Amino acid sequence: MRMQGNPVSGGIGIGPVLTYRPVLPPVRERFVEKGQTEEERERYRAVIKELMGDLRKLSSSKDAGGQMAIFETHAELLADPATMESVFDLIDGGICAEWAVHIAFLHFADLMRDSDNAITRERSADFEDLRRKLLCRLSGTKQQDLSHLEEACVLVAEELLPSDVAALDAPKVNAIVTERGGATSHAAILARSLGIPMLMQVEDCTGKLLPGETVIVDAREGFMIARPGATELLLYTGKQKDWLRDRQEAVDSRFQPARTQDGEDVSLMLNVGGEVPMPDEVAACGGVGLLRSEFLFLERSAPPSEEEQFSHYRAVLAACVGKPVTLRTLDVGGDKTVPYLNMRQEENPFLGLRGLRLCLAQPELFRTQLRAALRASVFGPMQIMFPMVGSIEEFEQAKRFVEAVKEELVQEGHHFRRNMPVGVMIEVPSLALMGEELAQAVDFASIGTNDLCQYLNAADRMNDGVASYYDPCHPALWRLIASLGKAFSRAGKSLCICGEAAGSPAFMAAAYGLGISSFSMGLASIGPSKRALRVLNAKKLRREAARLPKMSTSEEVRRLLMEFANGEPLGL
Ligand code: PEP
Ligand code: MG
């Protein structure tokens, strides 16, 4: 029996089904007298203290990619005065701690689930996770223990919460299959960082699959096979072996030079969100090519202060020990809404007040961030870039803003890097078509293929219904990349690609052949990219890639990229 799913963490896993059915203890709906409310508050305080201790231990545990830091976020959610107040208010209203936790956390999870923003929606699982943990602790209920598994398995569940994945006995989990969840959920992010193949949205898998029966999960292609025949088993055991060898090689490649077969060094950088990169991440890359600073602004009730931003940027620079860091200024709007910024409801938010447009419309917000960034710039080679820029005038307006902030800092006697490079993300076609002039105006630039591709193809990047129109192989995109590569090479300025496509070794190879000098990607893509570079000849790449801007169909582009992929999936 073949079942389709959404592959959110690539790979192949085979093994007996282990069905996970988390227990949610029944909520005791108990009224309490006035005199007992302090006792209930105390019960709540005690479990919070215990849980926060466990979460902080989890968050500081070493993992590939620093992803466990999400448990620090969980701890912050618990400690947030608004969360505490909601539960205490309910208890003071005359109900027991369990009931109050149930109502308050269900309410938070519902609020998140109703958001227009995909990332906030995924966060609803985090509140569910906390609700379950608190209720278990309050009632002394034990969960099925996933941290010590008897034998290797394929874990099957309706939904996995982040702490379920974090607690996993990972070496014994060959694959994970769930009915619910999305690629940007923390559970999926954790599975990717642990290197466990994962399929989501597999319909009724907990009902259709029997515990103990063997299944094959192909999370490269996006399906699974239940009760496979002997031939299928043999075939996929071979594929799994190849994939495991590949994965190990890719991890080993992480710390090797990013060099082509004929000795050209390519700059491979790291994309980071709200976390400070770990030493092994820094060792694997040439620096941070994209610091998505908006992560500091999400999931909170007020913007981070100048001091808070300053210490974070300084921490990132310190962690990078002299390697360059490109800080992207606040990029909200589009799919990322921030309630406290009083953003207007827009019919087409991706074409609305987002990125730099929003910063220019809210100068105080922009000013605070620039002050923090400039002050931090003395701690390492930092450069800043603006997202969602449509014209050279917009860039110049933002640059004047930076100059004014510098003037202010001079007056106040602050130190900062006077000649800090300032650049743009190339995401809007109107700017992408101005390569020659742009290369003169900016210090550097980075192509954001996630957005450039959606605007060029007129296909919303979040809309599954038009996914086939969102085409990174469209020859128009390659014409733009080629002309930008030429313009920036001529001007002697650095041009990076930092969208998801940079993590596809074949895409990177083709763009390198067209003069793009640097690529910024997630940690998981660094090893495979370095390994791919080792067998590529740069001169041949340039010769072959020169054909791309002359192609007229996406199919032709795809065929050439497949040649650069050396038999690996394109990953686009
Ligand atoms: C991009 O658009 O390619 C990019 C890197 O920015 P984001 O995905 O954060 O919009
Ligand atoms: Mg973008």
| Mean pLDDT value across the chain | 91
Tokens standing for residue 353: 């007040």
413-433 pLDDT, tens per residue?
A: 999 999 999 999 999 999 999
Q: Is the CB of 427 under 6 A from ligand 1?
A: yes
Catalytic residue among 96, 205, 496, 498: 498
Answer whether residue 388 shows pLDDT above 80.
yes
Residue to probe by mutation, ligand 1, list 295, 424, 498, most atoms within 8 Å of CB: 498
Whole-Å CA distances, 162 to 93, 351, 405: 32, 33, 41
484-501 pLDDT, tens per residue?
A: 999 999 999 999 999 989
Ligand positioned closest to the Cα atom of 522:
1
Task: Count CA within 13 A, CB hemisphere, residue 100.
Answer: 24
- Concatenating the DSSP letter of every residue in 115-167 gives -SSHHHHHHHHHHHHHHHHHHHHHHTPPPP--SS-SS-EEEEES---HHHHHT
Predicted structure pTM score: 0.74
What is the structure's pLDDT at 74? 84
Q: Do residues 332 and 297 lie in contact, with contact meaning Cβ atoms separated by under 8 Å?
A: yes
Q: Is 140 exposed, middle or buried (0-12, 13-18, 19+ CB in 10 A)?
A: exposed
Higher model confidence: residue 358 or residue 59? 358
What is the structure's pLDDT at 415? 94
Gap between the Cα atoms of 446 and 94, Å rounded: 57
Tokens standing for residue 447: 């192509």
Q: Is the CB of 126 under 6 A from ligand 1?
A: no
Gap between the Cα atoms of 75 and 79, Å rounded: 6
* Ligand 1, atom 6: closest residue by C-alpha: 448
Closest ligand 1 atom to residue 331 Cα is 9
Q: Do residues 169 and 151 lie in contact, with contact meaning Cβ atoms separated by under 8 Å?
A: no
Nearest alpha carbon to residue 12 among 215, 329, 239, 213: 239
Closest ligand 1 atom to residue 427 Cα is 2
Centre of ligand 2 from the C-alpha of residue 427, in Å: 6
CA 50 to chain centroid, in Å, comes to 29
Tokens standing for residue 88: 């205490």
Higher model confidence: residue 437 or residue 127? 437
- Average of per-residue pLDDT across 544-562: 96
Q: Is the CB of 453 under 6 A from ligand 1?
A: no
Centre of ligand 1 from the C-alpha of residue 105, in Å: 32
Can you say whether residue 201 is alpha, beta or left, with left for phi > 0 and alpha for psi between -120 and 50 degrees? left
| Cβ partners under 8 Å of residue 445, min gap 6 | 385, 423, 424, 425, 426, 438, 439, 484, 488, 493, 494, 495, 496
Q: Which amino acid is at 405?
A: V
Gap between the Cα atoms of 537 and 266, Å rounded: 12
Q: Is 268 exposed, middle or buried (0-12, 13-18, 19+ CB in 10 A)?
A: buried
395-412 pLDDT, tens per residue?
A: 999 999 999 999 999 999
What is the structure's pLDDT at 166? 73
**508: three-class secondary structure by DSSP:** helix
Residue to probe by mutation, ligand 1, list 450, 457, 484, most atoms within 8 Å of CB: 450
333-353 pLDDT, tens per residue?
A: 887 778 899 888 898 999 999
Q: Do residues 19 and 211 lie in contact, with contact meaning Cβ atoms separated by under 8 Å?
A: yes
For the chain, the straight-line distance linking the first and the last C-alpha, in angstroms and rounded, comes to 28
Whether residue 205 lies in the annotated active site = no
254-299 pLDDT, tens per residue?
A: 999 999 999 999 999 999 988 899 888 999 999 999 999 998 998 7
Strands 267-272 and 153-157 come out as unpaired
* Ligand 1, atom 8: closest residue by C-alpha: 450
Higher model confidence: residue 23 or residue 452? 452
- Average of per-residue pLDDT across 95-102: 94
89-98 pLDDT, tens per residue?
A: 999 999 999 9
Tokens standing for residue 469: 């129109």
pLDDT bucket at 315, cuts 50 / 70 / 90: very high
Q: Do residues 508 and 534 lie in contact, with contact meaning Cβ atoms separated by under 8 Å?
A: no
* Ligand 1, atom 1: closest residue by C-alpha: 448
Catalytic residue among 186, 285, 453, 496: 186
Higher model confidence: residue 194 or residue 544? 544
What is the structure's pLDDT at 523? 87
Q: Is the CB of 450 under 6 A from ligand 1?
A: yes
* Ligand 1, atom 3: closest residue by C-alpha: 448
* Ligand 1, atom 5: closest residue by C-alpha: 499
Q: Is the CB of 499 under 6 A from ligand 1?
A: yes
What is the structure's pLDDT at 61? 66
Ligand positioned closest to the Cα atom of 119:
1
Q: Is 302 exposed, middle or buried (0-12, 13-18, 19+ CB in 10 A)?
A: exposed
Centre of ligand 1 from the C-alpha of residue 521, in Å: 11
Q: Is the CB of 448 under 6 A from ligand 1?
A: yes
Give the other-Cβ count within 10 Å of 485's Cβ: 23
Q: How is residue 215 annotated by DSSP?
A: E
Q: Is the CB of 498 under 6 A from ligand 1?
A: yes
71-84 pLDDT, tens per residue?
A: 777 888 888 888 89
Q: What is the largest CA-CA distance in the chain?
A: 82
pLDDT bucket at 161, cuts 50 / 70 / 90: confident
Q: Is the CB of 292 under 6 A from ligand 1?
A: yes
Q: How is residue 470 annotated by DSSP?
A: -
Q: Do residues 487 and 513 lie in contact, with contact meaning Cβ atoms separated by under 8 Å?
A: no
Q: Is the CB of 328 under 6 A from ligand 1?
A: no
Answer whether residue 438 shows pLDDT above 90.
yes
Tokens standing for residue 129: 């996770």
Q: Is the CB of 333 under 6 A from ligand 1?
A: no
Whether residue 473 lies in the annotated active site = no
What is the structure's pLDDT at 64? 44
Nearest alpha carbon to residue 425 among 473, 377, 384, 381: 384
